[in-house]
């Protein structure tokens, strides 16, 4: 009892505290990722999000080398280019290399990520970037890297960056809603209606790339992948409405950020890792207890069918 009470004294979410900023950055990452992650999941491209989040690494290093700074804009451009290259190469290998889609994704992103690893290790003296940071992120340090304007402290830089990216993704989602939806549900119809399916595909990939590079610095590759895909899948299990799926994905992501911070403090472990773990646990809960697609409700439904076969088996 005492131990817990003591820990909760340390864990504070009051505005301005480290805990507040860490959870806020995590929640913004979750929101930004969910806004693009849901359509990735619906288009059965979960692994492409995974691939892009790894493959942007060489783009980031090259942007570091060319610009000589940690400015966010060159990094986004470098990562964006590599992200689109990943999507393009995957498509090319699937279409002309006779590789199954999952294999071409695997080939592409491991290759690009490996190049990134070489670049990081070779130029590690020149760039302020190490592999641990890329993989696991340093969300713990987020509160210390603050943005200053005319001497005034505006709060952590990563909160501003992720907030901007989340807003940009939300704007993309709202403006492109109809087009994104028809491309995801029925791309043949979309093309027949004159929608530029290829353009929307690469637009989505560009936003995924941008989100990844903005988020990797604070939370690392592992959590970006988790936040892109896991909350969206959790939400997919919980609803049959598209807008609600997006809202629930954001909610699941924010809960993961909050729960992950608590878990990390309790265990004194990696915050990013704990956030990803909690998002996985939330998925598990949804998979078991979900109202329509959950394992339990399916069992109950089947039992009902068995006891009253005549009533339910007739379909319109």
239 binds other proteins (CB under 8 A): yes
Residues 154-183 that bind other proteins (CB under 8 A): 175-179, 181-182
What CA–CA distance (Å, rounded) separates 170 from 60? 24
State yes or no: residue 305 binds other proteins (CB under 8 A): no
Among 34, 107, 56, 99, which Cα is nearest to 257's? 34
Nearest CA among 168, 169, 276 for reference residue 220 = 276
User: Which span (55-63, 85-93, 120-128, 232-240) binds other proteins, by CB under 8 A?
Assistant: 232-240
- Residues 187-206: x where in contact with other proteins by CB under 8 A, - otherwise, as a string: -xxxxxxxx-----------
**Token pair for 212:** 């990844």
Phi-psi region of 204 (alpha: psi -120 to 50; beta: other; left: phi over 0): alpha
User: Are 77 and 63 contacting, i.e. CB atoms less than 8 angstroms apart?
Assistant: yes
Closest separation in Å from C-beta 99 to other proteins = 14
Tokens found for residue 178: 């109809």
Please provide residue 147's backbone torsions phi and psi, each rounded to the nearest 5 degrees: -95, 130
Count of residues in contact with other proteins, rule CB under 8 A:
29
Which residue in 144, 118, 145, 143 sits closest to 131, CA to CA? 118
| Identity of the residue, 68 or 97, whose beta carbon is nearer to other proteins in the bound complex | 97
- Sequence-distant (6+) residues with CB within 8 A of 209 are 52, 56, 79, 80, 82, 83, 84
Q: Which residue from 150, 307, 313, 315 is in contact with other proteins, where contact means CB under 8 A?
A: 315
Binding pattern to other proteins, positions 96-125, x when CB under 8 A? ------------------------------
- Near other proteins by CB under 8 A: residue from 130, 185, 288, 304: 185
Residues 24-63 that bind other proteins (CB under 8 A): 42, 44
Please give the residue ranges that form the binding site for other proteins (CB under 8 A).
42, 44, 175-179, 181-182, 184-186, 188-195, 236, 239-242, 244-245, 315-316
């Amino acid at each position: 009892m005492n131990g817990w009470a003591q820990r909760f004294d340390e864990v504070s979410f009051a505005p301005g505290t480290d805990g507040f900023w860490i959870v806020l950055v995590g929640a913004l990452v979750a929101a930004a990722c969910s806004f693009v992650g849901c359509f990735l999941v619906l288009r059965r491209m979960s692994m492409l999000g995974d691939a892009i989040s790894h493959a942007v690494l060489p783009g980031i290093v090259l942007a570091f080398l060319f610009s000589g700074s940690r400015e966010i804009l060159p990094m986004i451009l470098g990562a964006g280019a590599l992200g689109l290259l990943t999507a393009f190469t995957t498509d090319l290998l699937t279409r002309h290399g006779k590789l199954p889609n999952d294999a071409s994704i695997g080939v592409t992103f491991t290759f690009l990520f490996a190049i990134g690893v070489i670049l990081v290790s070779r130029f590690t003296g020149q760039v302020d970037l190490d592999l641990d940071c890329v993989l696991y992120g340093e969300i713990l340090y987020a509160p210390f890297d603050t943005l200053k304007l005319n001497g005034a402290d505006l709060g952590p830089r990563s909160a501003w960056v992720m907030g901007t990216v989340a807003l940009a993704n939300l704007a993309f989602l709202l403006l492109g809603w109809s087009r994104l939806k028809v491309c995801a549900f029925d791309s043949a119809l979309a093309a027949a209606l004159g929608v530029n399916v290829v353009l929307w595909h690469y637009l989505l990939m560009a936003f995924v790339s941008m989100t990844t590079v903005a988020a990797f610095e604070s939370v690392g590759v592992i959590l970006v992948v988790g936040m892109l895909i896991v909350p969206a899948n959790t939400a997919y299990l919980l609803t049959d409405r598209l807008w609600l799926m997006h809202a629930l994905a954001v909610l699941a992501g924010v809960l993961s950020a909050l729960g992950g911070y608590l878990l990390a403090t309790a265990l004194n472990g990696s915050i990013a890792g704990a956030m990803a773990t909690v998002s996985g646990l939330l998925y598990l809960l949804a998979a078991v207890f979900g109202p329509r697609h959950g394992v339990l409700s399916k069992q109950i439904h089947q039992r009902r069918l068995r006891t009253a076969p005549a009533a339910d088996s007739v379909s319109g």
